Structure 1
Amino acid sequence: MSDTSQIALIRKLYSAMGDVNAFKSLVADDAEWDITEGFPNGGVYRGLDKTISGFFPFMADFNEFYAKGDEFFESGDHVIVLGHYFGVSKKKGQKVQSRFAHFWTIRDGKIVRLQQTADTLLIAQALGK
């Protein structure tokens, strides 16, 4: 069975793996990123530029960090993804794998909202916090 266009959009975001230009092409300028407290740079970011400048700098603490969706569910204009973060911290060289749930909202073919929840303890430990 092939993906719906909304699930395909979210898969494309995950496969971008930190490519800022790909990210910008998929996310609306007025997007909101709601990142669970305890996650690096957790908080709410409104607007594409604030999300890029405020949230994503945490990735500099990793040699590698990416999200991989395992299960995708669609309901109306929402896509729910259960998956894992994978990373290797720069400071400790520690590998980390942590579960997440992402709740995406899509409007007019663009991502307009992410509400994220994740197992933050393992990521904090990999960063030595």
Structure 2
Amino acid sequence: MSGSPQIDVVRRFYDAKGDLGVIRAVVAEDARWDVAEGFPNGGVHDGLDRIIGDFFPFLAGFQEFRCVGDAYYEDGDQVIVLGRYIGVTTRGKPVNSRFAHFFTLRDGKIIQLRQTSDTLPIARALQG
């Protein structure tokens, strides 16, 4: 692992690959997801139940979808990750899109994600 408890939490979130048990273990109940417009289910989602119910359903459009962190930076309760979304849609279209994730943690849980990404490759793959 990284030696940083905050980075370890973020890595655990990525490694969950949609496993709701793990997500509930690492994301706070009062978390806020601020996802780039143009990303599937983009917008602001307040609270873990809304994040799970309103944001994560986009995964149904994929056979496989994962976040690959290429670089992790930590400063106190802030973690920045530069990486890539890699996946395959249910129609067999491959996806490879860059992202920047800005996490805030509190008491070992993620309380905020601010995301920006190249949404065009994902939109094109999901359209056909």
The within-5 A match list for 1:1-129 is 2-91=2-91, 93-128=92-127
TM-score w.r.t. structure 2 length? 0.96
- 1:100 to partner: Cα distance: 0.2
- In 1: Cα distance, 2:7 partner to 2:63 partner: 28
Residue-by-residue CA offset, 1:19-53 (whole Å, 9 max, x unaligned): 01000000000000000000000000000000000
- In 1: Cα distance, 2:33 partner to 2:66 partner: 16
Which 4+ stretches in 1 moved above 2 angstroms?
none
Residue-by-residue CA offset, 1:61-86 (whole Å, 9 max, x unaligned): 11111111110001121000000001
- Aligned residue pairs total 128
TM-score w.r.t. structure 1 length? 0.96
- Amino acid in the other structure paired with 1:79: V
- In 1: Cα distance, 2:44 partner to 2:3 partner: 29
Q: Percent identity among equivalent residues?
A: 56
Q: Which runs of 5 or more residues in structure 1 are unaligned?
A: none
Q: Which runs of 5 or more residues in structure 2 are unaligned?
A: none
